[in-house]
Every structure is written in C-alpha cells, then in structure tokens.
Structure 1
C-alpha cells in the first residue's frame, strides 16, 4: 500500500458547541449514527468536535475535493478504535486510517489515506 494523502485538523470544542445550537447544523454535518453516539456521551461536544476534526482531516487527505461532510462517517469499532467510512464510489479502493484526540477545549485528528 502507498500513502496518497495525509490530513490533520484541530478545532475548539466551544466552536462546535455553538454550532450545534443552530437549527439543522448537526444534521448537515454529521450522520444520524454520529449524532446519536456523541449526544449519548457525557462530553458530547468533545465527541462531536473530534468527529468534525476527523472529517476535516479526511477531507484534506482524500485525492478528490468534492465530497459532503455527511458522506464521511466516523464511528468506533467494538474495541473503541475509530473507523472512517466514505460514502463515495471514488473511495472504494482506499484505506483510511485516523487518529483522534480531545480535551475539554480542543479536538484533533490526523488521517492517512492509502491505496
């Protein structure tokens, strides 16, 4: 496998908290699965923010630029490891690795795309 893209992003948690107060904002950016997962957590805005950062990192790493944020989904495997799926035919042969981290103030993510 060859690395074809690398992306990283950091976001302030309070920015995503403020964004989430706007009607329809969450459903424009996140899948229903991401929203349900994050809102069920104690630190819901941290979880939303780290997913937003992951989507940005993946967007930057992908070899094509036209993709909706909602088509990039960040979930967790049973062991807690993050997993990214991209709902786009152009991504079918790509392997996307992502690392997530968050505190009360910031959320960060790095994505590597391989083919």
Structure 2
C-alpha cells in the first residue's frame, strides 16, 4: 500500500547562492558523505530530503543528518535513514522508500513513494 508520495524541486542557482552566503548550511543539511558533491547534486539531495518529509506527512521527527542519500554502482539513489528519522518513518508504517532524483539546467527535483502498511494498519490485535 502507498503510505504517501512526495515531490520537491530546487532552483539550483538560488541554492548555490544560499550555500555561498551561509557555508555552514552544507554541514547543517548534509551527511559527511554528501558534503563533497557538486552543488547541483546537493540541491537534488536536498529536494529528496524535503520530498521524504512530504511523503511521510510533516516535519516532526525528522533531522537532516538522519537522512542520507547514497547511490549504487549504477547511480540509483536510495535513502539511508538513522536516528529519530528512521524511527519516525517506521512509526508511520513505511517499510520501503522508492526515490528518483534528477537535475537539469537550473532545476533539481526528487520524487519519493513511501510504501508499507501505514500507521496503525496491518497490526494484529
């Protein structure tokens, strides 16, 4: 069952200006493994983090560093969740996250489908 979907788009030049104006933003928003990436890739990852929050239903229980986006050898992205964010996603009944990211020109976007039983559903009593 689809628990939720989320989509987000980021204006790459605007994101770049924000990062240049406030360099600490990169440390605040991204895991250590993500920080050395190109600005357009960071923008896509930020969109992926925002899309996850939207798919699950709101910002409560999410921490930026608890959401890491990694890619496999073929470049397919996936979430690695930890801490409070992992607990929050699990509490919402999400068992699988499907992620797609893209960037072209001045835009970076991400789309996520959260799949699972949903909060309170599928629990046997």
Same fold flag (TM > 0.5): yes
In structure 1, distance between residues paired with 2:56 and 2:80: 12
Which residue in 1 is equivalent to 2:2? 3
Pair member with larger Rg: 2
Q: Does 2:54 match 1:60?
A: yes
Q: Does 2:34 match 1:29?
A: no
CA RMSD of aligned residues (A): 1.5
In structure 2, distance between residues paired with 1:15 and 1:95: 32
CA offsets per residue over residues 1-37 of structure 1, 9 Å max, x none? x11010000110012211212131101001011113x
Q: What is the CA-CA distance between 1:70 and the residue it aligns to?
A: 2.1
Does structure 2 conserve the Cα–Cα contact (< 8 Å) formed by 1:54 and 1:111? yes
Aligned residues: 108
CA offsets per residue over residues 38-63 of structure 1, 9 Å max, x none? 1xxxxx11111100111111110014
| Map 1:1-115 → 2, pairs under 5 A | 2-21=1-20, 22-36=22-36, 38=37, 44-63=38-57, 65-66=59-60, 67-87=62-82, 88-92=86-90, 94-115=95-116
Instruction: Point out the more displaced range, 24-33 or 59-68.
Output: 59-68
Runs of 4+ in 1 over 6 A off after TM superposition: none
In structure 1, the gaps of 5 or more residues are 39-43
Q: What is the CA-CA distance between 1:78 and the residue it aligns to?
A: 1.5
In structure 2, distance between residues paired with 1:94 and 1:20: 33
Does structure 2 conserve the Cα–Cα contact (< 8 Å) formed by 1:46 and 1:104? no
